[in-house]
A and B are shown apart, each in its own frame.
Chain A
Amino acid sequence: MRPGKMLREVLRTGLKKPVTVLYPKEKLDLPEHFRGKLKFNPEKCIGCKLCMKDCPTNAIVINQVGEKQFEAAIDLGKCIYCAQCVDSCLKKALEYTKEVELAQLDAQKLKVVFGAEIKSDTKKTSL
């Protein structure tokens, strides 16, 4: 038995520089497949709503905004960033990004809408 066996380790580490970085000034790289804020590509969406069906938290809602035009309303407060919707979408209209700084003081700002560019002659048909 040896008391204080960790002492050497402690002393050695004491000479090293800290590994923590000064966030937000410095930022660490995120892993390759990090699942952050979603991105919606309206041109690709065909409105099949599979993403809506599979979302575990009902965070995503697809609305038709014109003929063959869809927008995605995503509640970032509800989303658990599982990216199931990305997997479910057969048209690859959804993708995840590495955007993580999503905190908001106003809960309303967490509800984001990725709109299709509404052509001037078409109107919103549903919400």
Chain B
Amino acid sequence: MHNPSEEFKIPIGPQHPALKEPESFSVALRGEKILGVDIRLGYNHRGIEKACEERTYIQDMYLIERVCGICSHSHSTCFIQAVEEIAGLAVPRRALYIRTLVAELERIHSHLLWLGVAGHEIGFDTLLMYTWRDREIVMDILAELTGNRVNYGINTIGGVRRDISSIQIQETLKAMDLLEERTKYYIELGLEETTIIKRLSGVGVLSYEDSLHFDAVGPTARASGVKRDVRKDDPYASYGEISFDVITDTGADVYARTIVRLKELMESYKIVRQCLKNLPDGPITVRAPRKIPAGEALSRYEAPRGEDVHYVKSNGTDKPERVKVRAPTLANVQAVKHMLKDRFLADMPIVIAAIDPCFSCTDRLVSLKDDDKKADVMTWQALHDYSIKWHSQRGVDFGKLNKKLQERLSK
């Protein structure tokens, strides 16, 4: 039998019933205590950046929007801001307000979704059911304004694709009242319900210093007292003209992250109301050229999970030369390792969930090193041979399959 005082390693993932996305954690344990965690990404690399280089800016918009299903507007806006900066487009104010509006609605749905997931991870499924029920209110509004529930497709280079009518404004305001009432209830619940307080307090602690050290972003950083929010620090869209508070907390644990997100919801309602009230008149697009002049731009955006960064380099054609996406999870995932150290295995699901991870969005590139040549670059052939060798060492023979494939291809 295993001796509990000995170190023991368990692999969680890449395929695991508790994980929603493929990622791998190798957890070193002594008894129930976590000694260290190795996190490995790279199971969901979709080659989006490369694919962007092969497509025109217009086509890229829809591809980039699909980096993430939850914060699709974040990625599309972040990308488009970079393109617009290179092209020197002055986006109409009305379009910027609509972008801000959709961005906040997206934050609302994302935070409510997170609250439900967090409830589920701590075995409080009642919370999941109710928050997700209430989330439908904002999903309906998003569908009403943009056409669809996910991948809104509201952005276009130089503005937005759909205007909003006064009836829609009234409907949205009504929905905000309803959601505000519900959120107040959840805040009260968060402050009083024993299950939530006891289960989340003191779990996944990330001190102020550590938060800076690991460069945490978004609600994860703000719950450790770091007042960092791109909307305030480097205002984009119409955030510069809107008054709202950056919510922080000093709790530095999962409970603080819950409270920060809940209070941020209240701020989002404030922003949505201001957007609708001050919505300027005018056009919603400017004509954008198909060919973007040569140049480069870096764009930052406060996604629901934290700072999202896009880099675009153009070369004067209608296709970008390079697109780089840094999703917020990549910034936060390092901190998770630290948060889990010396904690119990049972805390793992909620600590990971507390950064609101999106591993598939994070997955960008895996650098493979050719051990023989000590070079950073591997040729396609070397990679191919390496893969065959790797599998045959583990008893999988791709030889036959490969031959069949070659025959097919040569036909």
Contacts and interface: CB of A to CB of B under 8 A. Distances in A.
Interface of A: 1-3, 5-6, 9-10, 13, 31-35, 53-56, 80-84, 87-88
Contact of B194 (A2, A84, A88): A2
A6 B58 contact: no
Nearest to A5: B193
Given A1-B194, A56-B59, A87 B130 contact: no
B140 to A, nearest CB: 8
A32 B62 contact: no
Interface in B8-44: none
Interface string B46-68: 00000000011011111100000
Contact of A6 (B61, B153, B193, B198): B193
- Listed from nearest, the 8 A-B pairs whose CB atoms lie closest are A33-B147, A56-B59, A3-B194, A56-B62, A31-B143, A5-B193, A1-B194, A2-B192
B147 A84 contact: no
A10 B126 contact: yes
Contacts of B148: 31, 34-35, 81
A74 B126 CA distance: 44
Given A9-B130, A35-B148, A82 B193 contact: no
Given A33-B146, A56-B59, A6 B156 contact: no
A32 B145 CA distance: 8
B147 A56 contact: no
Given A1-B197, A33-B162, A34-B147, A6 B63 contact: no
Given A1-B192, A2-B194, A31 B147 contact: yes
Nearest to B165: A32
B193 A80 contact: no
Nearest to B149: A31
A34 B62 contact: no
Nearest to B161: A87
Given A1-B197, A34-B147, A6 B62 contact: no
Contact of A83 (B143, B153, B185): B153
A6 B59 contact: no
B59 A55 contact: yes
Nearest to B195: A3
A30 to B, nearest CB: 8
A82 B61 CA distance: 10
A56 B55 contact: yes
Interface in B163-214: 185, 188-189, 192-195, 197-198
B126 A34 contact: no
A84 B56 CA distance: 13
Contact of B63 (A13, A32, A56, A88): A56
Contacts of B193: 1-3, 5-6
A13 B194 CA distance: 21
Contacts of A87: 156, 161
B378 interface: no
A80 B197 contact: no
A13 B161 CA distance: 39
A81 B197 CA distance: 44
Interface in B125-169: 126-127, 130, 140, 143-144, 146-148, 151, 153, 156, 161-162
Given A10-B126, A34-B148, A35-B147, A84 B62 contact: yes
Contacts of A54: 56, 58-59
Contacts of B55: 56
Contact of B144 (A3, A5, A31, A83): A31
A1 B58 CA distance: 53
Q: Which of A3, A6, A34, A81 has its CB near the most chain B CB atoms (within 10 A)?
A: A6
Contacts of A53: 56
17 contacts: A1-B197, A5-B192, A9-B130, A9-B185, A10-B126, A31-B143, A31-B148, A35-B147, A35-B148, A35-B153, A56-B55, A56-B61, A80-B151, A82-B62, A84-B59, A84-B62, A87-B156
Nearest to B59: A56
A34 B143 contact: yes
B97 to A, nearest CB: 18
Contacts of B60: 56
B147 A6 contact: no
Contacts of A34: 143, 147-148
